[in-house]
Amino acid sequence: MLDIKLFRTEPEFVKKKLEMRAIDTSIVDEILELDIAARELTARTEELKAKRNKTSEEIAQKKRNKENADDAIKAMREVGEEIKHIDTELNEVSQTLKDKLVRLPNLVSDETPFGKDEDENVEVKKWGTPRTFDFEAKAHWDIVENLKMADFERAAKVSGARFAFLTKDGARLERALMNFMLDTHRANGYEEMVTPQLVNAASMFGTGQLPKFEEDLFKVEKEGLYTIPTSEVPLTNFYRDEILTNDMLPTKFTAMTACFRSEAGSAGRDTRGLIRMHQFNKVEMVRFERPEDSYAALEDMTRSAESILEKLNIPYRTIALCSGDIGFGAAKTYDVEVWLPSYDAYKEISSCSNMTDFQARRANIRFKRDKNAKAELVNTLNGSGLAVGRTFAAVVENYQNEDGSITVPEVLVPYMGGQTVIK
């Protein structure tokens, strides 16, 4: 959530930044008008409450002096009614103001390139050379079904479209990838966590999924809980409504969870295979940083994501998202895209973002530089490290052999119990 003080002091700056996201900047004027109205109503009700308190004292004094207090009592009741009316109006104005504020995205960093959509993202790095096959390469969905590593048909029977059973060596490869990723991030200083996979609405609000993106979430109506779209949600909310001490920063968490997404609006996209699922596993990284350290932390986090693909020896590229493609809560984002032969293209496998103080303001996560210092908002960051299903698909496609088998990447052999080939 954006700081209302920024609207008051630098409205043109806010407009400029929102314009980069193609947002109608008249919203800034609307918010300022509501803010002025709220402050005027607050001042008026405080003035009336002071008057009511003074009148109450006068009434008490009259009663002590055995004087008639009827006029004063009547005046106090009238003031009370006016206060009640103003408070109702203030609540309505304040709620409207909040509703508008919480639906506005973060302001993009000065380092974020300007652009209308994904076509204007900027490639900042490319690693590895896509493999040239001397046979007709297959898509991962055909390979895994031939090797009985996955069963999409039975998953559709059990759950519907965009689900999969991973079976036999498929289940084993998935687990190997999870453990390899978690071990890599632990070696990079991330504390491993096991998180809840159902969270409350306050948690979803804290990280920015609610209220704007409710249609993308699965909800357990009876309990009022939501399945997580990523472990970013429980990990970031771990410190919700807390004040951290200076020595707690930076804090770096990693976790593997199932992720659940309705994929609203994605009908017809990536309908085959493991690329766009309602349920998938993902290893996540989350960081809590001092504001002055957060952009350097973003570079470090992105390197952690890239290192997974380098250890697997799978080509990738890293792009800086432009202002028209960047996520709701992010100020700056790098996407890491893995090479998939079946697409003859790079596909997103990780998104690493600096959310600055956007989530911390919503979730009320602060820190003190020393015990006498004023509490400040932390900066939060999150990044995939990596999406396991998409990494699974990348391994299968990039390591396929002419006879239909898959060579196990060297770094995964110990996690596969010494197995070097899936056939």
pLDDT digits (tens, 9 = 90+) for 350-384: 999 999 999 999 999 999 999 999 999 999 999 99
pLDDT at 71 over 80: yes
At 271 the pLDDT is: 74
pLDDT digits (tens, 9 = 90+) for 299-351: 999 999 999 999 999 999 999 999 999 999 999 999 999 999 999 999 999 99
Give Cα 270 to chain centroid, integer Å.
Answer: 22
Q: What is the pLDDT of residue 267?
A: 56
- Is the Cβ–Cβ distance between 321 and 335 less than 8 Å? yes
pLDDT above 70: residue 268 = no
Using an 8 Å Cβ cutoff, are 45 and 86 in contact?
yes
pLDDT confidence of residue 72: 87
In this prediction, residues 236-245 reach a mean pLDDT of 98
With 90 as the cut, is the pLDDT of residue 272 above it? no
Question: Which range among 23-32, 197-206, 269-278 shows the weakest confidence by mean pLDDT?
Answer: 269-278
pLDDT of residue 270: 72
What is the reported pLDDT for 207?
98
Asked if residue 217 has pLDDT above 70, the reply is: yes
Alpha-helix runs per DSSP H in 112-231: 140-146, 152-158, 169-187, 201-207
Among the residue ranges 73-82, 88-97, 191-200, 205-214, the one predicted with the least confidence is 73-82
pLDDT at position 165, please? 98
**The pLDDT of residue 265 is above 90:** no
Q: How far is CA 1 from CA 23, 34, 358, 359, in A?
A: 16, 16, 5, 7
Asked whether 261 and 229 are in contact (CB, 8 A), the reply is: yes
Structure confidence at residue 264 (pLDDT): 62
Element of type H or E holding 176: helix 169-187
Q: Report the mean per-residue pLDDT for the chain.
A: 96
Residues 105-114: what's their mean pLDDT? Answer: 98
- Is the pLDDT at 151 greater than 80? The verdict is yes
Q: Would you tell me the crossing angle of helices 169-187 and 294-312 to the nearest 10 degrees? A: 140
Averaged over 87-93, what is the pLDDT?
97
- Phi and psi at 58, nearest 5°, equal -65, -40
- pLDDT reported for residue 412: 98
Residue with tokens 């040239």: 132
Predicted pLDDT of residue 269 = 58
Q: How far apart are CA 180 and CA 388, in angstroms?
A: 11
Give me the mean pLDDT over the 101-124 stretch.
97
191 close to 266: Cβ distance less than 8 angstroms: no
User: In degrees to the nearest 10, what's the CA dihedral of 401, 405, 411, 415?
Assistant: 180
